[in-house]
Amino acid sequence: MQLKQGDLIRWLSHHRAFEATPDTVRGIDPVYRHGIIIEVSDIKKTAIVAHCFDCEKMNLVILDSDYDCIEIVSSKQNG
């Protein structure tokens, strides 16, 4: 997945609840945040700065697709 400036994205912010089995704990009922990529790192192409549309305390977030679950909702078209 190549992240580009102008792409509309969503990422997993947290889970509202968790369920446990004897071996594992996993998140259920995920909460996603949405934003637009405003900068992609020249050094590490998986690191981005995005403007968050539905974050409560911040407008700019730094994400890295190596660690954060980022999905492209709509990609910028050339031209």
Per DSSP, the chain holds a count of helices (H) and strands (E) of: 0, 5
As a whole number of angstroms, the longest Cα–Cα distance in the chain is: 54
13 membership: H or E segment, kind and range? strand 8-20
- Residue 12 near residue 68, CB atoms below 8 Å: yes
Give residue-wise pLDDT tens across range 69-78. 999 999 967 6
Instruction: Inform me whether the pLDDT recorded for 79 exceeds 70.
Output: no
Q: What is the pLDDT of residue 55?
A: 87
- Residue 38 near residue 51, CB atoms below 8 Å: yes
Instruction: Inform me whether the pLDDT recorded for 29 exceeds 80.
Output: yes
46 Ramachandran zone, left/alpha/beta (phi>0; psi -120 to 50) = alpha
Closest CA to 13 of 72, 49, 46, 56: 56
Q: What is the pLDDT of residue 77?
A: 73
| pTM, full prediction | 0.82
